[in-house]
Structure 1
Amino acid sequence: MKSLVTGATGFLGSAVMHSLLKAGHDVRLLARANSDRRNIENLPVEIAEGDLRDHQSLEAAVSGCDYLFHVAADYRLWVPDPQTMYAINVHGTKALIIAAANAGLKRIVYTSSVAALGLTSDGAPADETTPSNLESINGHYKRSKYIAEQTVKELTDQHQLPLVIVNPSAPIGPRDIRPTPTGRIVLDVMHNRMPAYVDTGLNVAHVDDIAYGHLLACEQGKTGERYILGGDNMTLLEILETLDDILDQRKHRAALPLSLMFPVAWLMEKIALITHKEPRATLDSLRMARKLMYFTSDKAIRELGYQFRPARLAFEDAVKWYQDNGYSP
């Protein structure tokens, strides 16, 4: 059985790749010609060079495969040109799913995000049925993932595809080479760049648990269903204190009202347009922080047998990997 994985040069995709290799799959990876390939070096995998924006390369990549794990996405909270993000996350996803449908794959697992789901008004954990709509979603990343998921659902219904959707929460752990926005929180604490915090919260899970959840979705998931693959709900302060404890450091951090951060984020975005470096704070990230981004994985636990380890273990593995790979002093 041969599985095609997109996004394996990145964080979550590389974890899905490792999970499939452990399960005995023959693995083919879709990778751009100029991609950073540290996460796939010296592994028994086949590489199909291509790009989600090059639709002919997608047809070649799915040819001869039994399963598709579409994990790749442009995951940034700020982009100078949003159209690039939509070209990858929406149009590239549509082209890949159509190519997989034409190739007659046995199973397709599409990696959406909890960003595509609704949030509750009282901070209670949301689930797969919590209502959401495009107008209520902030930021191009979240909007692109919402539109992509709606597109995937339509294709699944139209073509009766053997497709399952998974919605990971914030992954934490090893091999976050870029790093992702959640990985930057870990690095900021390690570099003493978090003197303050805002009152928000998110759901965090070990990247390898989320990756194994993809395999469970492939094997046990119901066609057309979606499953949240998450972990522990934590306030930002709890995350920072957990990291402090792992690093054996004691910090006193000030609580900042969100309203004070908006002018700072606005200025950072203006500077980023000149430097072309992603700002440390963005207006969209602050708008997201107005609500607790809490979720429950009960459906995946019940129907897939999904399990997740305590978030502290994910942070420990992330810290160790960053230390071992020269990201921190």
Structure 2
Amino acid sequence: MTEQLPSGSKVLVTGATGFTGSVLVRKLVEQNLKVVAIARLTSNLAPFKGMPIQWLQGDVFDPELIDKATEGVNYIFHMVTPFRDPKLKDEGYRQVHVISTQLLAKAALKQPDFKRFVHVSTIGVHSHIEHPPADENYRMKPGDIYQETKMEGELWIREFAKKEGLSLAVVRPAGIYGPGDKRLLKIFQMVSRRWVPVVGDGSNLYHFIHVDDLTDFFLVAAMHPQAEQEVFICGSPGDMTFKRMVDLIGECYQVDPKLIQIPATPLFAIGDLCEFICKPLGIQPPIYRRRIAFYTKDRSFNTTKMRNMLGFKTAHSDEAGLQETAQWYVDRGWVSLKKS
């Protein structure tokens, strides 16, 4: 059951037009709350037409926009993240992940009836888990500028909140999926065609969270007294191997997918070379290190803290969620199934 925020609450959401943000915003609107959302000037607001949302378009690291957006708010859900644009300089990631966090936190303190800041980080700050599963206290070892600035933003606001008395809960989501997701779409498409390139042997571990469960947890984290100043990894009860994921999707599409194994070492070298050449030219690399790492790093977590401390249980099993997502892609024409 979705947690209900207090009636009449004013809620600010950053990253509202993204996959996860759009799901959260719809839940907040259904609760008849006063919803304020920050969106880029280039964002498509058409899917939200007719919804009672106060949109503020501009840069989330613009101090004037932040002051306007936070006026009178009770809750902030901060999940904005920049598009992985090859033209985006490192400072662009810092502006979105760090500067915006600092501006929002300081502005929240000025609001007399502010209740809680829910800061959305990422399990990516942990990178590869050497001895799975890991918990919230596992060492941080970010592998790229995205993860580095995510870590910087999280560590800053945790320190700031303790020092200044800002009510805070930090959430590190596992791999987010569900109807509407595009990040895993290519894998579903490859499975439907029965051939899936994989770096290594497909035994690497991956941890998921259904977008519906994640957004429900955001609301719990915003309300529960025990979430105060805590960090939570939000994920399914267990992990799965990449091969297991492929097999599950294959069952949904009634195909027997074959893994095409590719050695990791030369592919990483090619990925580094592509990024070295393409990034200065503002071109999207055909292969890049972070995507290769998806197939090689273990991401496995102990997610009992959110259950034991806050009593939160996920409603979607990975098996049922992947099946739901697989069918959603077919219904939308994103995946086409060929007859045998």
Same fold (TM over 0.5): yes
RMSD (Å), alpha carbons: 2.6
Question: Which structure 2 segments of 5+ residues have no match?
Answer: 1-8
What is the identity, as a one-letter code, of the residue corresponding to 1:237? K
Corresponding residue to 1:319 among 322, 326, 330: 326
- 1:195 is paired with a residue whose SS is strand
Q: What's 2:6 paired with?
A: none
1:212 to partner: Cα distance: 0.4
After superposition, the C-alpha distances for 1:24-57 in whole angstroms (9 at most, x for unaligned) are 4332211122212254333232222232121210
> C-alpha distance in 1, partners of 2:269/2:158?
38
Q: What's 2:142 paired with?
A: 137
Q: What's 2:264 paired with?
A: 258
Q: 1:214-233 residue pairs with structure 2 within 5 A?
A: 214-220=218-224, 221-231=226-236, 232-233=238-239
What is the identity, as a one-letter code, of the residue corresponding to 2:221? A
Structure number with bigger Rg: 2
Q: 1:132-171 residue pairs with structure 2 within 5 A?
A: 132=140, 136-171=141-176
8 Å Cα contact 1:197-1:236 kept in structure 2: no
Q: Normalised by the size of structure 1, how large is the TM-score?
A: 0.87
Q: Normalised by the size of structure 2, how large is the TM-score?
A: 0.85
Q: 1:239-278 residue pairs with structure 2 within 5 A?
A: 239-269=245-275, 272-273=278-279, 276=282, 278=284
1:203 to 1:269, Cα distance in 2 relative to 1, 3 A: same
Q: Between Structure 1 and Structure 2, how many residues are aligned? A: 322
The more displaced of 259-268 and 55-64 is: 259-268
1:196 aligns with 2:198: yes
1:51 to 1:280, Cα distance in 2 relative to 1, 3 A: same
The more displaced of 213-222 and 69-78 is: 69-78
Corresponding residue to 1:292 among 295, 298, 307: 298
1:126 to partner: Cα distance: 0.8
Q: 1:42-121 residue pairs with structure 2 within 5 A?
A: 42-74=50-82, 76=84, 80-104=88-112, 105-117=114-126, 120-121=129-130
> C-alpha distance in 1, partners of 2:231/2:87?
28
Question: Which structure 1 segments of 5+ residues have no match?
Answer: none
1:322 to 1:97, Cα distance in 2 relative to 1, 3 A: farther
- 2:76 is paired with a residue whose SS is strand
Corresponding residue to 2:307 among 293, 301, 310: 301
1:9 to partner: Cα distance: 0.3
What is the identity, as a one-letter code, of the residue corresponding to 2:154? E
1:189 to 1:56, Cα distance in 2 relative to 1, 3 A: farther
> C-alpha distance in 2, partners of 1:89/1:191?
37
